[in-house]
Amino acid sequence: MGNGKKKVRVDLRKNRAKPPRGNDLTRAFQEDAAAAGDAASGERVRAKGDLSRKRTLVVDDAADAMPAADAACVRGRVLRVHGLASVVEADDGRVFRCAVRRLLKSLSTDERSVVTTGDVVWVRPSGAAVGNQDPGAGVGGRDSGFRETREADAVSALNPETRPPTPAPEGMIERVEPRHGVLTRASRRREHVLVANVDQLAVVISLVQPDLKPHLIDRYLAAAQKGGLAPVLLLNKADLADPAALQPLVGFYAQIGVPVILTSAATGLGVGRLRELLRGRATVFSGQSGVGKSSLLNAVQPGLALKVKSVSEVNEKGRHTTTYSQLIRLDACGWVVDTPGVRQLALWDTIPEEVEGYFPEFRPFVPLCAFPDCSHTHETGCAVKAAVARRQLSERRYHSYLGMFRGAAED
């Protein structure tokens, strides 16, 4: 097949589980011996749930089991995902409210959702978007979802000020381009991609309310390295903490090559430097609830008016305010993604042997271990443990390593 396309067989998700097999076959045989001759005809070599589900797709050579888009589709980027609907901004500036093609949902993957914020996708506009249908028609055809809007237009035709806003045209996401620069985590034994196609990760950590959690910083730095993102550490609410007490923490992460900025959305501390780091890049802001991600973005670009809430006075923990990830264009030629707060960050698809690679300060000592496959947990003659005992390595960072190593071993 020409034009750089080929046919491939892809696995689809099974829509049936294994049927339970009866555990009383002997008792049933004793009670009804006459039915023994029918038992063989009721047995299966394999259960229905194990039937293979495959389909032949026409894909691009560079794609991995993704259907090819045709000339009727337009290229765009996912701004946000609301349940089953995705808001996509096309390259020509049009904004579509899109559903996802059922075939993409059926592909056998480990992801929670096949489309996420930041994805580059190909959208097939509905007839209304290309002028082939009534302006109120959507993906589902005429009168699909906009009947109430047209009735309201008829009532308010004489008063343009009360006329409701024109609904966004609808479309169908036909293809998702390969990703780069992803922030992902493990969630219920599945991959949860928080955002895709970004350049750097701004780890927002609160110094107080909620309290500083250095172990969470280490997990974010590992996730950034795994996803191909450049990390930036933002220590927020610096106006409520003693700067002198933060020097050891700031100095350590600066030594391993992580930029650290003390910020405060209330006083504007560090906002100017942060604005320069965001210029010309796509950045995802991530951290716990209540650390001030949305407040910092409001300070970086006044007028965003992102919703914010105060920390709970009962447990001094953040309250979920941002409920979905959204891609925002900055006036300073950049993109940012405001994400919901996370309670925990478990690394996805990580084996214990690769965890040491997320700790660059371990590298001078690893070749000195007595065993080439040393896990740095229990072995005698481990140079990493000896360096921790001599305080050449941070004991806190070593405990972070142990937590990630054991978490990867449990997976």
Q: Are residues 319 and 368 in the same domain?
A: no
247 inside domain: yes
Bridge partners of residue 120, in order along the sequence? 77
Return the CATH number at 400.
1.10.40.50
Domain shared by 207 and 333, yes or no:
yes
Q: Is residue 236 part of a domain?
A: yes
Please indicate whether residue 189 or residue 263 has the higher confidence score (pLDDT): 263
Query: How many angstroms separate the CA atoms of 308 and 268, rounded?
Result: 16
- CATH value at residue 171: 2.40.50.140
On the question of pLDDT at 20 being above 60, the answer is no
Residues 245 and 361 placed together within one structural domain of the fold = no
- Domain end residue (candidates: 286, 304, 338): 338
Picking from 12-26, 172-186, 375-389, which range would have the lowest pLDDT averaged per residue?
12-26
- CA–chain centroid gap for 227, Å, is 11
Are residue 357 and residue 390 in the same domain, yes or no? yes
Same domain, 311 and 221: yes
Res 312: pLDDT: 45
Q: Please, which residues have CB within 8 angstroms of residue 40's CB and are 6 or more apart in sequence?
A: none
Chain segment 195-245, per-residue pLDDT in tens: 999 999 999 999 988 888 899 999 999 999 999 999 999 999 999 998 888
Residue 158 belongs to domain spanning: 74-176
Last residue of a domain, one of 110, 144, 176: 176
Same domain, 97 and 149: yes
Tokens 């302006």, residue located: 135
Among 176, 207, 242, give the residue marking a domain's end. Answer: 176
The backbone torsions φ and ψ at residue 29, rounded to the nearest 5 degrees and listed phi first, read -65, -40
Q: What is the tens place of the pLDDT at every residue in 152-199?
A: 443 344 344 444 556 678 999 999 999 999 999 998 888 999 999 999
Is 123 domain-assigned?
Answer: yes
Lowest mean pLDDT among 114-123, 178-187, 268-277, 297-306: 297-306
Using 50, 70 and 90 to split pLDDT, how confident is the model at 405?
Answer: very high
Residue 147 counted as domain residue: yes
**Mean pLDDT, rounded, for 294-307:** 88
- Is the pLDDT at 404 greater than 90? The verdict is yes
pTM: 0.77
326 & 214 share domain: yes
State whether residue 18 is helix, strand or coil.
coil
CATH number of the structural domain spanning residue 286? 3.40.50.300
H/E element holding 403?
helix 395-410
pLDDT class of 32 with cuts at 50, 70, 90: low
Residues 79 and 204 in one domain: no
Task: Flag whether 14 is in a domain.
Answer: no
**Dist. CA 285–CA 361, nearest whole Å:** 25
Weakest-pLDDT range from 33-42, 55-64, 134-143, 376-385 = 134-143
Grade residue 386 by pLDDT with cuts at 50, 70 and 90: very high
Q: Residues 365, 290: one domain?
A: no
* Region of residue 243 (left: phi > 0; alpha: psi -120 to 50; beta: else): alpha
pLDDT band at 25 (very low <50, low <70, confident <90, very high): low
346 and 355 Cβ atoms separated by less than 8 Å: no
Whether residue 267 is found in the same domain as residue 373: no
Domain presence at residue 185: no
Q: What is the pLDDT of residue 143?
A: 36
Q: Quick check: 380 pLDDT over 90? A: yes
32 domain-assigned: no
Assess whether 318 and 274 both reside in one domain: yes
* The pLDDT of residue 296: 93
Q: Specify whether 268 is located in the same domain as 328.
A: yes
Domain total in the chain: 3
Decide if 289 contacts 320 (C-beta within 8 A). Answer: yes
Query: What percent of the chain stands above pLDDT 90?
Result: 49
Tell me what the pLDDT averaged over the chain comes to: 80
Q: Does some domain include residue 82? A: yes
Residue-by-residue DSSP string for 354-388: GGGGG-GGGTTTGGGSSSTT--SSS-TT-HHHHHH
218, 178, 221, 204: which is closest to 402 by C-alpha? 218
